[in-house]
Structure 1
Amino acid sequence: MWRKGIEHGGGPEINQWLGKLGILPKFEGGLRVTDEATMEIVEMVLVGKVNKSLVSLINKAGGIGVGLCGKDARMITARPTRGGSLGLVGEVSSIDTSILRNIIKSGAIPVIASVAADHEGKAYNINADTAAGEIAASLGAEKLILLTDVPGIMMDMSDPNSLVREISIQGIRKLVDEGKVSGGMIPKVECCIRSLAQGVRTASIIDGRLSHSLLLEILTDEGQSVFSAALT
């Protein structure tokens, strides 16, 4: 069954607000280093601003958007990232999709901000791609689609014509080992691999800057080969 839902981050918006407050963003391995002050901004921006903006756009287009974050109904339970160097960046400990299933069954579209809490209620910044993959797997989704602001996975980042249009799990692991996949693309391919291992049938990384890229990916045979790197 096709399960519709949106999991989102908001890196540029977070950076903008951190800049206003004189806080310098820091990243390790494509993930944001999150101290207490940064966590407050992350939660404020993702849950209070980006989430509600997306819900409004869905409603304006005629859909029914329902804004949530990982804290709601204990949807995502977090734990600290192993090693601890990222501060309040969390990993997904468990997923409870009960509230999502009810929302989807009603015909609405859940819009989920990537903020979660541990068993003690402490807030954590969860990578949105990671959260999306875990939720997709828990829902038994047919397809996971990650929208980004680059063409996709490329053999050569300086050459758009080197786009990888289809690749196996073994193939993408080789690209990571060779350093051809790096930075923020690493969490994306890792979450694709995890979701596929847990039963999601296909995972695609597509260029969200292109007009109608999502529709082309879902509704046409050509969309995947043109815009995505499908891990199968």
Structure 2
Amino acid sequence: MKVIKLGGSLLEQPEALSALFQSLKQSDDEIVLVHGGGALVQQWLATAGLHSEKVNGLRVSPEPHMPYIVGGLAGAANKTLMKQAIAAGLKPIGLTLYEAGVLCAKQSESLGQVGVCQASEAVSGLISDLLAQGYLPIISSIGFSDSGDWFNVNADDAAVAVAAAYNADLLFITDVDAVLDGSGTPLSHLNSESIQELTRAGVIKDGMEVKVRGALSAAKRLRRCVRIGSWNVMNNPFSGTQISE
């Protein structure tokens, strides 16, 4: 099984999404998608006149904001992906982390309903059944506790939790083909040491630094390599950048 985490920016790139889903249609792998959608959530909150702030990259999610966050992620973002998947001839089904067997808990009172994923003792038979029937599970980063509390979960953390639960490979699909060195050449492999060196030199910075550090954290938690790249990594397992400890 492969778990693919889709970068939120791809929701605004229908051509890239179309290409991704076409490549998924041709793949023989069992695929599970996990996604966020921060830009869409921000738009919904602003339209509702609600002020939203982030702390260390996490969107503070007070309970009154949650209907908009859930609606944006599990609703509009999820169904946008389903729309593209259906157009490509796939059989998508939209889910939350709960249906995937991943339970969540509150990270801290100061962040409101921001959730962290808890270790799964048993995987959900639902995902296996859906894959066996040819469905493509598309999981939003909305989670629930065993008592029914809902949470806004960081999409990278959600993807790692799903991959860990099913002992699956993890791919971070984003809007770049690979991590680049100082001369603009794609890097095939990075580890903790080289990431630190390139970050210190200012080669890896801003949004790419966030992506790379997220992938490195995932590689450490999963104890296996994680790949960052565009939708092309589905067709070419040697494309993109491989991240290891």
Q: Which residue of 1 aligns with 2:136?
A: 109
- Choose from 103, 108, 116 the match for 1:91: 116
Q: Which residue of 2 aligns with 1:168?
A: 191
For the 8 Å contact 2:33–2:137, the answer to whether it is kept is: yes
Q: Match of 1:80, as an amino acid?
A: K
TM-score by structure 2 length?
A: 0.74
Gap change, CA 1:46 and 1:172, over 3 Å in 2: same
Gap change, CA 1:180 and 1:18, over 3 Å in 2: farther
Q: Which residue of 2 aligns with 1:192?
A: 215
Alignment of 1:39-50 (within 5 A): 39-50=66-77
Gap change, CA 1:169 and 1:98, over 3 Å in 2: farther
Gap change, CA 1:5 and 1:20, over 3 Å in 2: same
Of residues 111-120 and 195-204 in structure 1, the stretch that sits farther from structure 2 once superposed is 195-204
Q: Match of 1:137, as an amino acid?
A: A
Q: Which residue of 2 aligns with 1:209?
A: none
> Once the two structures are superposed, what CA deviation does each residue of 1:113-134 show, in whole Å capped at 9, x if it has no partner?
1101123211110111111112
CA distance in 2 between partners of 1:92 and 1:178 (Å): 34
CA distance in 1 between partners of 2:177 and 2:202 (Å): 18
Note the residue ranges of structure 2 that are not aligned, 5 or more in a row. Answer: 2-28
For the 8 Å contact 2:191–2:216, the answer to whether it is kept is: no
Note the residue ranges of structure 1 that are not aligned, 5 or more in a row. Answer: 207-212
Matched-pair identity in %: 27
For the 8 Å contact 1:155–1:162, the answer to whether it is kept is: yes
> Once the two structures are superposed, what CA deviation does each residue of 1:150-204 show, in whole Å capped at 9, x if it has no partner?
5654567xx8x27544201443366668887666656644553354345564312
Q: Which residue of 2 aligns with 1:219?
A: 235
SS at match of 2:119: strand
For the 8 Å contact 1:6–1:110, the answer to whether it is kept is: yes
CA distance in 1 between partners of 2:71 and 2:41 (Å): 9
CA distance in 1 between partners of 2:116 and 2:202 (Å): 24
Q: Which residue of 2 aligns with 1:26?
A: 53
Per-residue deviation, 1:31: 1.7
CA distance in 2 between partners of 1:149 and 1:192 (Å): 15
CA distance in 2 between partners of 1:17 and 1:150 (Å): 26
Q: Which residue of 2 aligns with 1:203?
A: 226
CA distance in 1 between partners of 2:181 and 2:49 (Å): 37
Per-residue deviation, 1:49: 1.6
For the 8 Å contact 2:160–2:222, the answer to whether it is kept is: no
Alignment of 1:6-85 (within 5 A): 6-72=33-99, 75-81=101-107, 83-85=108-110
For the 8 Å contact 2:34–2:141, the answer to whether it is kept is: yes
Q: Which residue of 1 aligns with 2:10?
A: none
